[in-house]
A and B are shown apart, each in its own frame.
Chain A
Amino acid sequence: MKTDLDIVSPPIPEEILQRVEAKGINRRDFIKFCTATTAALALPVSFIPTVAQAVEDKRPPVIWVEYQSCSGDSEAFLRANQPTAGEIILDLLSIEYAEVLMAAAGHQAEEAKHQAMEKYKGQYILIVEGSIPTGAGGGYCTIGGHSAVDDCKKLVQNAAATICVGSCSSFGGIPAAAPNPTSAVSVSSLVPGAAIVNLPGCPVNADNLTATIVHFLTFGKLPAVDRLGRPKFAYGKRIHDNCERRGHFDAGQYAEAFGDVAHRQGHCLYKLGCKGPETFHNCPTIRYNEGTSWPVMAGHGCIGCAEPGFWDTMSPFYRRLPKVPGFGIEDTADKIGIGLAAATAVAFGIHGVASCFRKGGSMEEDKTGKEAN
C-alpha cells in the first residue's frame, strides 16, 4: 500500500521514535508502518500515535504453530515488505516458537514451546497455520509425540488470543476438502468458544495479520468480526464491490477466454468464473506484495479462497456456479434445466395429442346431455 499521505496527523512523540531507532529500526519506516496499519484497520489518523505507542511499548510473546499446512502463510508473512512490516513486527514481537523461523529443532524446540506456554500463560498470542486432523485418533499429524489435536487444544486454551492464519486453520481449507481423508477441522471447531479470530485467504494477506496483531496490542482485544469470525476491517466488503473491473461488469463487457481481445483490454472476468461476487476480502484495496497487484488486476478471476470450503464450493474455478451434484462435469445448471424444460414440453405435447383423441370423458356425456336438453 502506498502511504504518501498529505493528511495532517498528530505527530508520534519523539521519545517513541528515539526508542524505536535505538532498536535499529529506521524512524521513517516506523512512521510509514504505523500510518499504513492504522489505515488498514480503518481507524482515523488521530490514532497513529496510539498505535505507535502500543506497538513500541509491548513486546508480546508469540507462539506460531503449524499443523496440516504448506507454510504458505509463514512465507507470505516473512516476504511481507510493506515498509518492511515483517522486519518491524519481528523486532517488536517476541517470537517464542515458529517452526519456519527458529534455530532450535526436535525436543529442544518442543521444550521451548512448552516453557513459553507455561511462562506466558494467558498472555501470549497464538498464531495457528494449517488445519487439525481429528481422524485416526489424531494420528495423522503429531509433533514431538503429541497429536495436533492435543497440542492445539492446550495452546488455544492457555493463549490470550488466537489468530488463525490462512484458510486451513480458519475453515479447514484444502486438507478438509471433500472427501477430507484425515477428518481435518478448523481451530474454531476444535476449540469452540475460545477467543479466536480467522484470517482466511490462501495465503493470508500479511498486512491483515499485522493489522490484527496491532489492533490487539492497541486495544487489548481482537477486532470486531463477521459471522465467520473474520475481522470486519479486512473482510467486511465483497471483492466484486471494490473491483476495478466493476465498470465493465455493469456495462456488460466480459472476457470470454484468456488472451482474447476483451481480456487484453481488462474487461470483467465474470464469465471466466470469477468468484468476486461471492467473496469477502480486501484484496482489491490492500493488494499483495507492497500493494503491487492482486489476482483480478493480474487478469485472473478470484477463486474465493477466503470463503469456507472454497475448494469444494468455488470450483470449478473457471465456471461461475458449482457443479450440480450427481451430474457430470460438463453438465451445467442451464444444460440440465433446458433438458428438463424440453422434456416437460414434449411430455405434455404427447399428453395433449392423446387427450384430443380420447373418447368418453365425463364431459363428453355432459355435452350430449346438454344437447338433449
Chain B
Amino acid sequence: MASLKKVMEDEIACKEWFLPGNACCAGCGLEVALRWTMKALGPDIAMVTPASCLNVVIGLWPKTAPDFPQFNMAFAAGAAVATGFEAAFKAKAHKFPGKGWDKMISICFAGDGGTTDIGIQGLSGAAERNSNIIYVCYDNEAYMNTGIQRSSSTPHGAITTTTPFGKERYKKNLPAIMRAHDIPYVATCSISEPLDIYEKFKKAKSINGTKYIHILAPCAPGWGFPSEDTIEIARMAVKAGSWILYEVENGVLTLSKKSKPLLDPSKRIPIIEYVSTQKRFAGISEKTLIEIQEQIDNDWEKLSTELKCQDEYSK
C-alpha cells in the first residue's frame, strides 16, 4: 500500500478536486470515494456520472463541486458514455496529434443501482469490448437518491423502503461478474482505506483496457448510523470479512493488505458486531444472522481454495 508520505509528495493528491461546499450529507461515504479517486487520477479526465446521489450532491445548477470535466447522465448510460468519450479522444488524437488527447482518461463513476442493476448491460458491453475506461461503482448498497430502495447490491437481511422486513436475497457479487469478463483489472476498495484506493487507481490509470473498481461507501442516513461513524462502519465491514479487499490483475488474484490476515477465520470479527451498528439490520432474526455469517465463511473458504489453486497452478 502507498505510504502517506508518498501521497503527501504527490502535488495532485494534495489538492481537492471535489470541492467543499458540495451537497453531500454529513458523513457521506461516496464523497470520500470520489475525493480519493480524484487524488490518484488528477484532473485530466472526463467523468460521467449516471443518475444517483452523485448527480445531486455535486450542486444545483449552475453551481458545481467537481473541479474537473464532469457530466451527469441518464441512469443506464454510464459505461457507454465513457466509451464514447474514449472514442472521441482517440479520434481527436488522430486529427490533432501531439496535443495530449491520447492521454485523457475516461471514467464512469456510478452508484450500485446504476452498476449492478440498470447499467449492467452497458457495463458488460464495455468490458467485453475492453473499452479503455475506468468504471467505478461506489456502493452504498441501495438506491439512496430515490429514498433507500433495495438494489441488487443490498445485502441479505437489510431493511430498505422496498424491503420493509429485510431483503430475502443476497448481495449480487459484481466484482466476480466483472472478473468473468476477463478484463485486465478488477479491484475492490473500502473508503476506510484511502491509501489503498489511491494505490489501486494509480495502477488502473497505467493499464490499457477496462478497469473495474468497486468501492464500499457507507451511507449514514440510508444505513442508519451516526454520521461520524462512516469510516469506522466501512472498516468493520472489512474486518468482519463481509467486504473483501482484493485486486485481480490479468486474472491473478491478490488479497489486499487489510483483508489478507482474514484468511484465518479467528482474525475476523463476528458479523453481529458489524450488523448491530446499523438500524437497517434492526430486528434481524437469528436465522438471518446465521445465514449471513455462513455466507461470509463460505466466501472465504472458496477464496482460500482459489488462492491455493492459483499458487499450485503458477508453480
Q: Do A and B come from one complex?
A: no
